[in-house]
C-alpha cells in the first residue's frame, strides 16, 4: 500500500497540466469525493498500528502536494486566456477594412466635379443667426417663405438657430471675397421634420455660387447640365421648371432624366421620366447688395442640392434613414466604391 502511495507521489510531482480542463480533472481525481485521497483515508483505518504514523504522514504530504500543484497552475491558465485575447503581436486580418460613408463618397464626387470647372470649397458654421439664414437672403422677418423651411430656433434667443440650408455660406463668402466668385459649400443642415423614408431632421446639402460680370441664366443651365452628365452619365438630360426662392430671381427647380428607366417612366420617377435634384436661380440683386456686392456691375447664379437625395438616386437607396443608422451591412456595400 505504502509503495503504491509513493508511486502516486512521484506521478503527482511530474504532473504539468496543459489546460484548465486538465487541471480540473486532476483536482477531481485526487481531491474529489470519490477521489484517490478520500479512498486512502478510508483504507487508513485498516492500516496496522505500527504503520499508521508513516502512512498518515505520506497521505498528508500527498494531499499538500496535490493542493500546491493546483495552486501553482490555476492562475497561469487565466492569464493565458486573457493574454491570448489581447495578443498585440498578432497580425491584423486585412479582410475587414472600413469604408467611406456613402454621403461622404457623394459629397467628394460633387466637389470633384465642380472643382474641374474652377469651384473651390468653402464652409460656414452650423449654428447661425437670423441674418445669414434668412434676412440677408431676402427673407425678412414675417416673410411667408420662412415657412418653407421648418427651422430649429434657440428658445432663449430667437436670433440664433441651426441653419436650415447651406445658402448661409453664400452670404458669408460674399462678405469676405470679391468677385469673381466660384464656390461650393457642402455641409450639414437641420430642419424640424418628422423622420421618415423621405425626410430627416438632419441632412446634408451642397450650395454653389458663381458671381462675375455678365453671368447669365444660360451659364447656369450649362453648368448644371455638365454636373448632371458627370454625376449620372453622359446620356442624362435635364429639365428646368420655374419655381420660387426668395434669394433668386428667376428661380428654377432642376430635374434629371431618370437613370433607372432612362426616361421611359417607372415607379421611382412616378412615370414622369424625371427626378428632381436641386433648386437654383439668378442671385437676387437684393442679396448681392446685402453682401456688399455691386448688383449693377455683377450678376451670378446659385444652386443648392441635398446630398442624400443625390446618393439615393445614384445608389438606388429608397429609405433616407439608412444613411443615419450606420448598419454595417448597409455601409459594407460601399467599401469597394
| Residue 291 exposed, middle or buried by CB count within 10 Å (0-12, 13-18, 19+) | buried
Q: Residue 139: which of 243, 300, 247, 244 has the closest Cα? A: 247
The residue whose Cβ lies closest to ligand DAH is 304
277 binds ligand DAH (CB under 6 A): no
Residue 165 in contact with ligand DAH, rule: CB under 6 A:
yes
State how far the alpha carbon of 55 is from the alpha carbons of 3, 30, 50, 197, in Å. 10, 17, 9, 83
- For residues 243 and 262, which CB has a smaller minimum distance to ligand DAH in the complex? 243
151 binds ligand DAH, rule: CB under 6 A: no
Helix 102-115 / helix 307-315 crossing angle, nearest 10 deg: 100
Minimum distance of ligand DAH from residue 185's CB (angstroms): 9
Contact 223, 210 (CB under 8 A): yes
CA dist., res. 335 & res. 328, Å (int): 10
Binding flag, residue 207, ligand DAH (CB under 6 A): yes
CB of 146 to ligand DAH, least distance (A): 12
The span from the CA of 201 to the CA of 45, in Å, is 84
Interaction with ligand DAH in 232-251: which residues (CB under 6 A)? 245, 248
Instruction: Please count the residues of this chain forming the interface with ligand DAH, following the rule CB under 6 A.
Output: 11
Binds ligand DAH by CB under 6 A, chosen from 174, 279, 288, 313: 279
Q: Which is nearest to 283 in space by CA: 268, 266, 300, 259?
A: 300
**Per CB under 6 A, 124 contacts ligand DAH:** no
Q: Does 304 bind ligand DAH (CB under 6 A)?
A: yes
Of 281, 300, 322, 323, the residue at the interface with ligand DAH (CB under 6 A) is: 281
Q: Specify the residue, 17 or 124, whose C-beta has the smaller distance to ligand DAH.
A: 124
Under 8 Å CB-to-CB from 324, ≥6 apart: which residues? 200, 202
| Smallest gap from residue 248 Cβ to ligand DAH (A) | 4
Amino acid at each position: 500500500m505504502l509503495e503504491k502511495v509513493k508511486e502516486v507521489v512521484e506521478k503527482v510531482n511530474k504532473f504539468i497540466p496543459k489546460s484548465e480542463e486538465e487541471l480540473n480533472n486532476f483536482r477531481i481525481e485526487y481531491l474529489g469525493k470519490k477521489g484517490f485521497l478520500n479512498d486512502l483515508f478510508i483504507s487508513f483505518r485498516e492500516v496496522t498500528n505500527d504503520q499508521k504514523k508513516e502512512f498518515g504522514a505520506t497521505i498528508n504530504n500527498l494531499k499538500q502536494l496535490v493542493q500546491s500543484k493546483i495552486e501553482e497552475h490555476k492562475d497561469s491558465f487565466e492569464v493565458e486566456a486573457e493574454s491570448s485575447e489581447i495578443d498585440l503581436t498578432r497580425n491584423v486580418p486585412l479582410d475587414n477594412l472600413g469604408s467611406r460613408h456613402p454621403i461622404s463618397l457623394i459629397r467628394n464626387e460633387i466637389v470633384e466635379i465642380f472643382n474641374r470647372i474652377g469651384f473651390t470649397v468653402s464652409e460656414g458654421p452650423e449654428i447661425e443667426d437670423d441674418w445669414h439664414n434668412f434676412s440677408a437672403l431676402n427673407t425678412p422677418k414675417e416673410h411667408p417663405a420662412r415657412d418653407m423651411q421648418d427651422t430649429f430656433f434657440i428658445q432663449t434667443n430667437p436670433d440664433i438657430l441651426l441653419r436650415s440650408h447651406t445658402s448661409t455660406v453664400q452670404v458669408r463668402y460674399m462678405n469676405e471675397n470679391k468677385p469673381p466668385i466660384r464656390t461650393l459649400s457642402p455641409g450639414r443642415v437641420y430642419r424640424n421634420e418628422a423622420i421618415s423614408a423621405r425626410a430627416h431632421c438632419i441632412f446634408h446639402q451642397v450650395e454653389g455660387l458663381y458671381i462675375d460680370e455678365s453671368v447669365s441664366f444660360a451659364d447656369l443651365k450649362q453648368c448644371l447640365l455638365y454636373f448632371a452628365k458627370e454625376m449620372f452619365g453622359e446620356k442624362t438630360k435635364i429639365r428646368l421648371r420655374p419655381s420660387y426662392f426668395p434669394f433668386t430671381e428667376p428661380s428654377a427647380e432642376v430635374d434629371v432624366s431618370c437613370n433607372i428607366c432612362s426616361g421611359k417612366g417607372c415607379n421611382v420617377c412616378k412615370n414622369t421620366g424625371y427626378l428632381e435634384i436641386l433648386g437654383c436661380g439668378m442671385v437676387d440683386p437684393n442679396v448681392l447688395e446685402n453682401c456688399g456686392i455691386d448688383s449693377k456691375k455683377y450678376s451670378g447664379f446659385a444652386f443648392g442640392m441635398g446630398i442624400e437625395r443625390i446618393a439615393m438616386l445614384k445608389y438606388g437607396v429608397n429609405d433616407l434613414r439608412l444613411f443615419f443608422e450606420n448598419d454595417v451591412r448597409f455601409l459594407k456595400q460601399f467599401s469597394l466604391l
